[in-house]
Amino acid sequence: MTLPPAPSSTAVSNSKQGTNIPSIRLWLQTLLTTRTGPGELRHTVVTLTSYMTISILAFCTVTTLFCFFIAVTVFDDLVRKTAPSQLWQKTKNRGLRMVDWVSILDQVKIQLIHLAEFEQEKRESWPFNQIDSDRFHDLVTAVTEYLNDYIHTNRSQQQQKQKQQ
């Protein structure tokens, strides 16, 4: 595979910065002439393609998240401006009070316990030992213990309030 000869100017001049940026054609010619085997060229192309793919995916993800947060902010501002403030406050307070946050946290705690057990079982089946491999398990265990303490405290407070009534 040969490329047509490059023009006499081998670099594109950037007048704003005063630096020379090599052209893509020159880069490809250098790449094709300096690499000896097709395996090295294939490795370079695969590496370049993978970096480009990851860069494009990262760019698309950041752009999508930015647009999503802009849309949520605009929707929230629209609802706040169009809905009367008293109606908005009553709806927000009533909706948050109706949710049983303690039971939701209890379910999250149970799911985290299952995740920690699953992760530990999978790690034990690995053929090699990993140094400090229990950090994730310790973190999840600490979070579940904190949630368990919070749930216990909150439920005992609710029971005391019910007894007083």
pLDDT digits (tens, 9 = 90+) for 2-48: 555 555 444 444 455 555 666 777 777 776 676 556 677 777 778 88
Over its length of 165 residues, how does the chain's per-residue pLDDT go in tens digits?
555 555 544 444 445 555 566 677 777 777 667 655 667 777 777 888 888 899 899 999 999 999 999 998 888 888 777 777 766 677 666 666 666 777 777 888 888 888 888 887 877 777 666 655 677 777 888 888 888 888 888 888 888 888 887
The per-residue pLDDT for 127 is 67
CB 88 within 8 Å of CB 79: yes
Distance CA 19, CA 11 (A): 10
pLDDT at 62: 93
pTM beyond 0.85: the answer is no
